[in-house]
Amino acid sequence: MRAHFGFQSMALRIILLIAVALTLQAGIFAASSTRSLMGFAETEGERFRASETEKRKIQLANMVSVAENTIRSYYERSVDMEALKKEASAPLKRLVDATATQMMQHYDRNKIIVPEPSLRSDLLSMVRGIRYDGDNYFFICNAAGTLLAHPNPSLEGRTLYDMQDKNGVYLFREIIKTAQQKGEGSVSYVWPKNRDANPTQKITWVRMLPELGWILGTGAWVEDETARLQQEAMEAVAGSVLENGDYFWIHDTSLHMVRNPLRPELDGTDVSGVQDKRGTALFKAMEEVITASGRGFVEYWWAKPGQQGEFPKVSHIRLFEPWGWVVGMGVYTDDIDAAVAEEGRKLRTEAAALRMETLLFSGIFLAVMLVASVLLIRVYLSRPLGSLLEYTASVANGNLDAQTHDTFRGELKVLRNDLVRMVVSLKEKIHEAAALAGKSEEESERARLAMQEAEEARGMAEQARKQALHDAAAALEGVVEELAMTTEGFSHQIDEVANSAQMQSDKLGRTADAIEQMNASMQRVEQNASNASEASSDSRNKAKEGAEVVRDSVAAMEQVQTMAENLKNDMNALGAQTEAIGRIMTVITDIADQTNLLALNAAIEAARAGDAGRGFAVVADEVRKLAEKTMSATGEVGQAVNAIQQATNRNMDNAQQAAEAIGRATGLVQHSGEALETIVTRSDDAAHQVDMIHEATSEQSHASEEVTGAVEEVRRIAAETATDMESAREAIIRLTGLSESLTGMVRKLRS
């Protein structure tokens, strides 16, 4: 017969131990795998962030390098004198050609009718007055090097053929040589920009005027060309925002913003104190990078167009030392954080899937190992142990001759042999036990006597228990009687409180009804006061409307009177102005003489504009013709002036009579207005008193409503108090019943 295995079975315990060990191993493996995967996801996210940031930095460095090369190309043009000559010569040539054309046209039109000296003087005056691009000018000299026209009067009339600049260049010799040999061309030398300035490099275009024997010229300073090229470089690099929203900015080494296309309000300002929301002085940080290596990256927070707040940004900056510029570009990196988060989400999803696969495989492995363990334990442990248990059971039932039939291995074989030897030894001990049986009878008698003594002790303990119960019942009975008396008194008090609450509720109901009646009366009084206020307000408004009409009438009469006075004064002024018209005719004649010079300046500006200014040159010629027509119209204007003076005298008399009549009417209307103002004032006083009555009534009505609400609240509380007292009384009744039951139980206990 095989033994039944329960939870106490050794095989079952071993199986459970193996299952727990395998489960723990699978859990530890899953946790370790999960931690490794999470660590990998975090490491991969940081690697992805670093990779993306490095890509952005490389792109930034390339973009800023392109911008630096662009600026460098403009700089190289600014220091290439031959290239500057070519660039500056084209616009200078257009200006000289236009001025020379106008001069020769004026000369050809007037050389027959105007004496030669006067005509030449007019041409020189014309050139002296021409200005362009601020203070830039033209000059004229002759083949001997004598300066004939120049903004500096102290130089005119001087022969400067042997003048040298600070570099030893005979500038007028070069000018004369170029004009005589080529007819026109460019010359480079050093000349001051104004009287007080230091001489700087200048490029001049000159042209020979053979008919006059003059040389006409104008020039541009190299520093102006450098400034122009700097402006062009600035526009080329930082003139606008790129299509993707990125942009270049330029600031100088003194931390002043040169150009920022996104925030033009910063241009020209000191940006050394600009900080981001974390307190980083970003431009000072850039200065440190530039000082250390001339280029580098700076990270900070900056506003994003169209969005609130600041966002993380990294910028690359480079120093362009010749001009002292720092050019930079930045990109926002918050999208990298978003991409890192998305990459982390994908990795976590993959890690979760891998974790599920790991758990699945671990479960399968656990099941296989458990099945294998059960089979092995059954074959090598459970079956041999069962055989041994049957053997030991047979021995225990007295069959000392029982045998084992299964195959045993290892420790179980040793155990089986030991059990067999133990049974053999047991047989021997049984024989020895028979000899000791007599002695056991004596020991049994002694045990019986000990049992009698124990029975006597148990009787004494029962008597002591009964006495203790009697004492406890007596004490409990006293407590119950006291509880009953207290409950009865508390019940009487609750009845009194409930009756008082009911009486209070009834009185509050009657009070509420009386307040409701008073409130209705107050509302009727308030309505009457409101009606009176509205009537008073209507009367006041009508009176005010009448006063307004009178005031408007007075204002209109005063305005008409003022207009009459103004008309009278205007007539007097008109008479004086007609007398001045004659003098103006003389001025008009002088203006016509100056129109020719203005037409010449307009033609020069048209020539500077190139082909687009040809139409404007035609307009300038028409202006000259218009000046000639002006002279013929002057006589006709004089005749019209006499007629205007006669009509003016008649209008002055009529205006005087109208002003007197309007003054009388104004006085009558003002008297009416004063009477209406008095009516309006008294209406305002009456309306104010009615409004005060209405407000007081409204306040009393509102206070009455609040009192009614308070009474209703007190009434509700009283009703709730009565209900609570009723509940308390019922609880006391139940407590009394429980006390009586407890008394009965105590009596039974005592009995």
Strand order in the sheet with 138-142: 147-149, 138-142, 214-221, 199-209, 184-192
Q: How far apart are CA 57 and CA 64, in angstroms?
A: 10
Is the model's pLDDT at 110 over the cut of 80? yes
Summarize the confidence of residues 607-616 as an average pLDDT: 61
Give the gyration radius of the chain's Cα atoms.
Answer: 61
Mean pLDDT over each residue of the chain, to the nearest integer: 74
Q: Which pLDDT band, with edges at 50, 70 and 90, does 626 fall under?
A: low
Question: Which residue, among 548, 581, 560, 534, has the nearest Cα to 673 in the 3D structure?
Answer: 548
Give yes or no for residue 4 having a pLDDT over 50: no
DSSP run (H or E) holding 314: strand 310-320
Helix (H, G, I), strand (E, B) or coil at 26: helix
The confidence score (pLDDT) of residue 725 equals 58
Q: Which of 104, 129, 133 has its CA nearest to residue 119?
A: 104
Pairing, β 248-252 against β 325-332: antiparallel
Residue 123 three-state SS: helix
Higher pLDDT, 105 or 718: 105
Predicted confidence at residue 571, as pLDDT, reads 61
Determine the Cα–Cα distance for residues 540 and 463; give it in Å rounded to an integer.
Answer: 110
DSSP state of 4: P
- DSSP SS3 for 302: strand
Is 88 a residue whose pLDDT tops 60? yes
pLDDT tens for residues 171-224? Answer: 999 999 999 999 999 999 999 887 667 888 899 999 999 999 999 999 988 887
pLDDT at 525 over 60: no
* Adjacent-strand bridge partners of 250: 259, 327
Distance of CA 277 to CAs 7, 166, 334, 406, Å?
A: 69, 55, 15, 86
What is the separation of C-alpha 226 from the centre of its chain, rounded to a whole number of angstroms?
A: 41
Q: Which residues of 275-297 are buried (b: 16+ CB within 10 A; e: fewer)?
A: ebeeeebbbebbbebbeeeebbb
466-750: what CATH class?
mainly alpha
| Distance, CA of 84 to CA of 469 (rounded, Å) | 128
Residues of the chain with CATH 1.10.287.950: 466-750
Start-to-end Cα distance in the chain: 59
Residues of the chain with CATH 3.30.450.20: 10-358
Q: Give the pair of three-digit tokens for residue 198.
A: 């230091």
Angle between helices 116-128 and 437-608 (to 10 degrees): 170
Q: What's the CA gap between 141 and 139, in Å, rounded? A: 7
Q: Which stretches of 193-309 are assigned E, i.e. beta strand?
A: 199-209, 214-221, 248-252, 257-259, 295-303
**Within 10 A of 83 (CB to CB), how many other CB atoms are there?**
13
| pLDDT (tens digit per residue) in 552-588 | 656 765 665 676 576 567 666 656 666 666 566 556 6
Average pLDDT for 480-508: 58
Whole-number Å distance between alpha carbons of 123 and 145: 18
Backbone angles phi, psi at 187, to 5 degrees: -135, 140
As a dihedral over the C-alpha atoms of residue 633, residue 638, residue 643, residue 648, rounded to 10 degrees, the angle is 110
pLDDT, residue 409, reads 74
pLDDT at 417: 76
**10-358 CATH, one of 2.20.25.90, 3.30.450.20, 3.30.365.10, 3.40.50.300:** 3.30.450.20
Better-scored residue on pLDDT, 323 or 625: 323
Q: pLDDT (tens digit, 9 = 90+) per residue, 339-384?
A: 667 766 776 677 677 777 777 777 787 788 778 877 777 777 777 7
Q: pLDDT tens digit string along 247-280?
A: 899 999 999 999 998 888 989 999 999 988 888 8
